[in-house]
């Protein structure tokens, strides 16, 4: 979070209970060539003034890329999560209750004067705040909000104008601050509670299609997050990627499974070996999820099958090491 000394307008924002984030590069952020290329593309689009949308299946790094790109812009960040319950007032703001002010007359101690101002008070929400002060908006899973709620974004992204509700009683439009940027994420495959995002909105942003991270990046992430050796991280990633090919829903297991297996293996002091019973059980628990229960051939995923895959990749590394180097 940023401090008020850094930005005086933050006191006002704090009064409205809106959290403004100041992002710093995470120490466990992995920047391989693959990651660097995607991030650079996205940041250049943002710097030219275009909103960027990371779209892809679960666990492909959308939120991480969005936060990383936001951090690269160096502006304060407002984070929003798409929500089915949202109306546009949740994004823009609304009239909240009544302003009540109390005046206590100190000179005549016996008299206490109470004055009530019965005007309803307009309170800006995150989108308005980001537009006014030129913050970076990260709108995660934006398609989970109803299209009507997101409609307000159309003029913001195109005309750089934020249309305010009539009830607010002031000017109908607010000019969007030139430093305002917007980054979106969505999962097009997720259907539960997701509305087909409006074409007009999509047309105003640049969509960077995300797929699973490449093998080297997955290995680096697993190694960094678990503290295991590069060789062990490689075996874990290969096991998980093998299962990703098998499942009916072939996006799972994701990089999250690699991180889980890696972290628990390190915590349990287990060895990444096919004959280590603890490692085998960790793999069974993490991989044996409903999403990959039935394989493409219709066969059930058995423990024995998982053991065979573990064996295959643990063996492979032995072979790799025993290949003689010839000049
Ligand atoms: N470059 C990276 N460096 C380090 N960790 C990463 C990187 N990219 C992704 N991860 C890790 O991979 C996991 C999945 O990433 P993330 O949450 O960004 O995916 P997502 O596409 O937003 O998934 P979902 O659709 O489920 O929200 C997280 O644990 C995240 O920390
Ligand atoms: Mg996400």
Q: Is 63 in the pocket of ligand 1 (CB under 6 A)?
A: yes
64 in ligand 1 pocket by Cβ < 6 Å? yes
**Nearest Cα to Cα of residue 173 among 152, 150, 149, 202:** 152
Tokens of 12: 């006002």
If one counts every other C-beta atom within 10 angstroms of the C-beta of residue 48, the result is 8
Work out whether strand 52-55 and strand 101-102 pair parallel, antiparallel, or are unpaired.
unpaired
Are both 166 and 86 inside the same structural domain?
yes
Q: Which of 101-110, 114-123, 184-193 has the lowest mean pLDDT?
A: 101-110
**Which two structure tokens, joined as six digits, stand for 42?**
């996205």
The two tokens of residue 253 are 């297991």
pTM (2 d.p.): 0.83
Nearest CA to ligand 1 atom 31: 64
Higher per-residue pLDDT: 17 or 118? 17
Banded model confidence at residue 99, pLDDT cuts 50, 70, 90 = very low
Q: Is 157 in the pocket of ligand 1 (CB under 6 A)?
A: no
In percent, the amount of the chain with pLDDT more than 90 equals 49
Percent of the chain having pLDDT more than 70?
A: 72
**Cα separation, 182 vs 126, whole angstroms:** 12
Q: What is the pLDDT of residue 123?
A: 64
> Which range among 26-30, 163-167, 180-184, 295-299 has the greatest average pLDDT?
180-184
Please check whether residue 98 lies inside any domain of the structure. no
pLDDT at position 168, please? 58
Q: Rounded CA gap, 327 and 325, in Å?
A: 7
User: In this structure, are residues 186 and 55 in contact, taking their beta carbons and an 8 Å threshold?
Assistant: yes
Same domain assignment for residues 198 and 283 = no
Domain of 228, in residue numbers: 215-319
Q: Residue 258: pLDDT above 80?
A: yes
With cut-offs at 50, 70 and 90, classify the pLDDT of residue 66.
very high
Q: Output Rg (C-alpha) for the chain, integer angstroms.
A: 26
Write down which residue in 209, 232, 252 finishes a domain. Answer: 209
Residues 171 and 302 in one domain: no
């Amino acid at each position: 979070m940023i401090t008020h000394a850094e930005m005086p307008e933050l006191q006002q924002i704090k009064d409205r209970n809106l959290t403004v984030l100041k992002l710093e590069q995470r120490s466990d952020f992995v920047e391989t060539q693959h990651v660097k290329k995607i991030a650079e593309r996205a940041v250049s689009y943002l710097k030219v003034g275009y909103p960027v949308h990371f779209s892809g299946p679960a666990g492909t790094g959308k939120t991480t890329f969005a936060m990383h790109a936001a951090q690269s812009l160096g502006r304060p960040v407002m984070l929003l999560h798409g929500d089915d319950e949202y109306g546009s007032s949740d994004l823009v703001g609304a009239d909240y209750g009544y302003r009540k002010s109390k005046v206590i007359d100190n000179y005549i101690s016996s008299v206490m004067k109470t004055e009530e101002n019965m005007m309803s008070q307009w309170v800006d929400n995150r989108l308005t705040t980001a537009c006014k002060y030129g913050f970076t908006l990260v709108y995660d899973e934006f398609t989970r909000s109803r299209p009507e709620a997101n409609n307000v974004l159309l003029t913001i992204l195109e005309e750089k104008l934020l249309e305010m509700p009539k009830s607010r009683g002031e000017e109908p439009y607010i000019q969007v601050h030139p430093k305002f940027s917007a980054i979106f994420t969505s999962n097009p495959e997720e259907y539960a509670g997701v509305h087909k995002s409006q074409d007009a909105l999509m047309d105003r942003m640049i969509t960077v299609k995300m797929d699973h991270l490449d093998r080297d990046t997955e290995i680096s992430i697993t190694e960094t997050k678990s503290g295991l050796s590069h060789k062990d991280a490689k075996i874990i990633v290969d096991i998980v990627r093998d299962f990703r090919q098998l499942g009916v829903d072939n996006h799972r297991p994701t990089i999250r499974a690699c991180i889980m297996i890696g972290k628990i293996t390190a915590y349990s002091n287990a060895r990444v070996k096919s004959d280590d019973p603890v490692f085998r059980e960790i793999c069974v628990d993490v991989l044996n999820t409903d999403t990959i229960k039935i394989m493409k051939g219709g066969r059930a995923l058995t423990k024995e099958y998982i053991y065979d895959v573990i064996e295959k990749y643990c063996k492979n590394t032995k072979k790799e090491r025993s290949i003689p180097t010839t000049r």
